[in-house]
Amino acid sequence: MRHSKGRGAFIVAFLSPAVLLYAVFLVWPLLQSFQMSMYRWRGVSRNRKFIGMENFQNLSQDPVFWKSLQNTGMLLVLAGVVTIGLGVLLAHLTDGAGPVRKFARAIYLFPQVISLVAVALIWQFQLNPKYGLVTDMLFRVGLPVRDPGIVRDPRYAFGAIAVAFVWHALGFFVLLFSAGLKQISEEIKEASALDGSEGWHRFRHVTWPLLWSVKRTAITYLLIHILTVFALVFVMTEGGPDRGTETIVSYLYEQIAKNGQYGYASALAVVVFAVSMLASLAVLAYFRKDPTAAAGARA
Amino acid sequence: MKFVVAIASIALAAGLVGCNSTAAPEAKETAAPTPGGKLTGALEVQAFQGGYGIDFYQASAKEFEKQHPDLKITVEGGPRVWESLTPRFANGNPPDLTFPGWGMKHWDLAEEDQLVDLGPALDGKAAEGDGTWRESFDPQILALGQLKGVQYTLPYYVMIYGWWYDPEVFKKNGWTVPKTYSELLTLSDKIKKKGMAPITFQGKYPYYMIDGMLLPWVQSIGGIDAVNAAQNLEEGAWNSPAMVQATERIVELKKKGFFQEGATSMSHTEAQQEFVQGKAAMVPCGSWLFSEMKKTMPATAKMEYFLPPFIDGGKGDPTAVLIGIEPWMVPTEAKNKEAAIELFKYMTSLSVAKKFVQEKGTLMAIKGSDDGELPDVLKAPSKTLRESKAVYSVQFRHWYPTLSTELENGLTSLLNGQLTAQQFCDRAEAAADKVRKDPNITKHKV
């Protein structure tokens, strides 16, 4: 009994700092955001007015909100598919030992360790209409990218954000899928080889299903990462041209920084939270059953 | 992560305010105390650290401290000082005197009873001379800090908007500064033939073009009344014939290829760098251009100010100048209001203002501060301002940020060929109409 009590105190002692920090810096602000979303508040004084669900009603009629939601969804599909597709491909190509593969894995991870603001600045330079390397290369292959310039051109700006995102995020997904590939036991690989399953056939019927838990983690991570993408958009395009790259969080920032609408911004934050939660739950529900469980495989 | 930071910042500010603060604003004594007593205690100044830095304010504070040894002044600031000041205002713990910079929504502060009415202090004695403090200022510039007749903010330096060229480059090529739009077209044609871009602009921030081309040309065509009617949200003012015709000039310059290639994507510093490096002949910008670019401009480069070319035959005033201020203010909840007002009085005295003009190379709102020998770059703006029969200012940007954003977004689409001049103006009018009909937005008048 005494032993169990001591163990409990030990656990509480070690957990409490983390729980306290989490509660103060995450749970409490989140609850405050929920509260603030029902107020009209300019954020410069104590004066604020309870307006119930008015911010949410206004949000539902705000075309920029819907446009930003649509853009965020498009980024999720476009950058998400490319990131996961390339992540799996590169994980395959760099799977195994050898110095070249090790070096390649480190290179892929490099953009991931740079802050997102720095990534945005790097791409801003690369896409500069006068001296940007990428602009110059695209111009040389015949694309009219010098005027108005990639980040202000409605044909290219969204793609530029997606490319910068993929460049930044890819390394992490290569690492994730590499770890997933390593977890597939040699016995399974040998057994599938004996059964004549090689190449694409083996990937589709053996490897891909066995990456089940990695896919779940990857998609959940991507969802949260893209739904809250801000720095790339803010630095590279400021949501432009003409809202062409506006995302839900960049619009939220505009409500605070430009418009001083803290209540409306909080309503947006609540929507982002709700969408993130629902989407994450949907992913978890979709992947709830381990398709390989019956076969007894590890993934 | 950024999302968490964003909601945390909202919540932190909310938390600072507390949960039971839904009541209407408390009635506060907003009139400034009558100065005259001994100044004591601590005085905190928070200032925007822009192109002119905060060193001058710190040096002024030191001088003022010598005159008032019982006063301990701290002057601090940062390039985004408004971000730390906003929650301080919300929490009732603002500094004593502040110049919060362009990011602060100071009209929100005024409307929320957060700023002292400086009118009574202005009627008191000035720091130097026999006149009142009010008489130290240019009245038109002073008016920019008033809301419904109450003086909530005071100006310090004055920004003059216009266009810039390199006189050496113009002289070498035999070009003359265009006074009218038709002269601009002729000159731009010549410049283009020389292989130089006639005009560059800060396309990433479209308000530069709004202040440097659109509104001056609306003024040219329809007079200051046409600009102010739009700012006052008068029905049909944002798609008035003057507004449409001014917009058409921008489209014309674009179609003729007189804007530098890629300028729509350029930030202010990128476009201005193109100008100082001689890749573009002219750039619209305010009088801070030199201080902003002096570190990166080639030693041989020169710059000189001129008024935006006047639209031929327009009914506006060819001498009218667009000006702007970045205001100073004393918070209602400041702990040492009297000392704050006296310090700012000292900073706006003629001798200190003249020193600021010389050291920082900008014009001031203080009468007579541009007397005497001026830095070269200030000579033309000063002369233009002295010779102008009227001044006007862009105020709607701070009053109605949603209208301003819509205008900027529309301008980018106009430059990209996705909107016609008429469609751009109709869109601006629709945005103005939305503001006009929103009962929660306080309406202002120029």
Position A299 scores a pLDDT of: 40
Q: CA nearest B332: which of B117, B116, B119, B106?
A: B116
**CB contact B438 to A (< 8 Å):** no
Pick A231's closest partner by Cβ from B2, B7, B103. B2
Residue B157: which H helix or E strand, with range?
strand B157-165
What residues does each domain of chain B span?
31-156+326-367, 159-323+395-437
Q: What is the CATH number of domain B31-156+326-367?
A: 3.40.190.10
Using only C-alpha atoms, chain B has a radius of gyration, in whole angstroms, of 23
Does the fold of domain B159-323+395-437 match that of domain B31-156+326-367?
yes
Instruction: Supply the pLDDT for residue B29.
Output: 41
Q: Which CATH number fits domain A63-286: 3.40.50.720, 1.10.3720.10, 1.10.357.10, 3.30.200.190?
A: 1.10.3720.10
For chain A, say whether B17 makes contact (Cβ under 8 Å): yes
Q: Which of B245, B376, B408, B235 is nearest to B314 (CA)?
A: B245
CATH class given for the domain over B159-323+395-437? alpha beta
Tell if the CB–CB gap between B14 and A116 is shorter than 8 Å.
no
Name every chain A residue with its beta carbon within 8 A of the beta carbon of B1. Answer: 228
| Strand B197-199 versus strand B157-165 pairing type | unpaired
Instruction: Give the mean pLDDT of A46-73.
Output: 96
Count of pairs with CB atoms under 8 A, one residue in A, one in B: 169
Q: Is the peptide bond before A148 cis (omega within 30 degrees of 0)?
A: yes
Per DSSP bridges, beta strands B391-393 and B321-325 are parallel
Confidence of residue A110 (pLDDT cuts 50, 70, 90): confident
Residues in A closer than 8 angstroms to B86, CB to CB, are: 43-44
**Residue range A130-151, pLDDT digits in tens:** 999 999 999 999 999 999 999 9
Max intra-chain CA distance, chain B: 70
CB-CB contact of B392 with B443 (8 Å): no
Task: Say what percent of chain A tops pLDDT 70.
Answer: 96
B329 near B81, Cβ under 8 Å?
Answer: no
Please judge whether B440 and A40 are an interchain contact, meaning their C-beta atoms are less than 8 angstroms apart: yes
| Cβ separation B114–A44 shorter than 8 A | yes
Contacts of B114 in chain A (CB under 8 A): 44-45
Q: What is the pLDDT of residues A14-39, one digit of tens each?
A: 999 999 999 999 999 999 999 999 99
Q: Which residues of B touch A147 (CB under 8 A)?
A: 261-262, 264
Task: Compare all CA atoms of chain A with the CA of B13 and give the residue at the minimum distance.
Answer: A43
* A199 — pLDDT class (breaks 50, 70, 90): confident
| d(CA A197, nearest CA chain B) in Å | 43
Strand partners, B211: none
Residue of A nearest to B80 (CA): A257
Q: What is the DSSP string of A196-211?
A: T--HHHHIIIIIHHHT
Those of residues 265-324 in B touching chain A at CB distance below 8 A are 265-266, 270, 274
| Set of chain B residues whose Cβ sits within 8 Å of the Cβ of A257 | 103
Rounded Cα distance between B257 and B278, Å, is 17
B11 at interface of A, judged by CB pairs closer than 8 A? yes
Residue A285 has a CB neighbour count (10 Å cut-off) of: 9
User: What gap in Å lies between CA B266 and CA B272, rounded to an integer?
Assistant: 9
Q: Which of A22, A44, A48, A151 to probe the B interface (max B CBs under 10 A)?
A: A44
pLDDT per position in chain B (446 positions), as tens?
A: 444 444 544 544 444 444 333 333 343 444 444 445 689 999 999 999 988 999 999 999 999 999 999 999 999 999 999 999 999 999 999 999 999 999 999 999 999 999 999 999 999 999 998 899 999 999 989 999 999 899 999 999 999 999 999 999 999 999 999 999 999 999 999 999 999 999 999 999 999 999 999 999 999 999 999 999 999 999 999 999 999 999 999 999 999 999 999 999 999 999 999 999 999 999 999 999 998 999 999 999 999 999 999 999 999 999 999 999 999 999 999 999 999 999 999 999 999 999 999 999 899 999 999 988 888 999 999 999 999 999 999 999 999 999 999 999 999 999 999 999 999 999 999 999 999 999 999 999 99
Cβ-defined contact of A47 to B415 (cutoff 8 Å):
no
The span from the CA of A244 to the CA of A153, in Å, is 9
Alpha carbon distance B433, A125 (integer Å): 39
pLDDT at A2: 56
B402 touches chain A (CB under 8 A): yes
CB contact B349 to A (< 8 Å):
no
Provide the ipTM.
0.88
Q: Do B440 and A35 touch (CB under 8 A)?
A: no
Q: What is the pLDDT of residue B90?
A: 95
Which tokens belong to B352? 């200190």
Q: Which residue(s) pair with B306 in the sheet?
A: B163
| Cis geometry, peptide bond prior to residue B33 (ω within 30 degrees of 0) | no
Please list, in sequence order, all residues whose beta carbon lies within 8 angstroms of the beta carbon of residue A100, skipping any fewer than 6 positions away. Answer: none
Q: Return the bridge partners of B199, or none.
A: B259, B282
CA distance A225 to chain B (A): 8
B390 — contact with chain A (CB < 8 Å)?
no
Q: Where are the domains of chain A?
A: 63-286
Partner residue opposite B261 with nearest CB, options A39, A146, A231: A146
Give A222-281 pLDDT, tens digit per residue.
999 999 899 999 999 999 999 999 999 999 999 999 999 999 999 999 999 999 999 999
Best to test chain B binding among A64, A125, A147 (most B CBs inside 10 Å): A147
Q: Amino acid identity, residue A209?
A: P
What part of B 405-434 touches A (C-beta under 8 Å)?
Answer: 405, 409-410, 412-413, 415-416, 418
Mean pLDDT of chain A: 91
Q: Which pair of structure tokens corresponds to residue A295?
A: 């076969």
Between chains, do A152 and B204 touch, taking CB under 8 Å as contact?
yes
pLDDT for residue A129: 93
- Looking at residue A1, its pLDDT comes to 52
CA B321 to chain CA centroid, nearest Å: 13
Judge: A33–B17 Cβ closer than 8 Å, yes or no.
no
Facing A148 at nearest CB: one of B3, B22, B416: B416
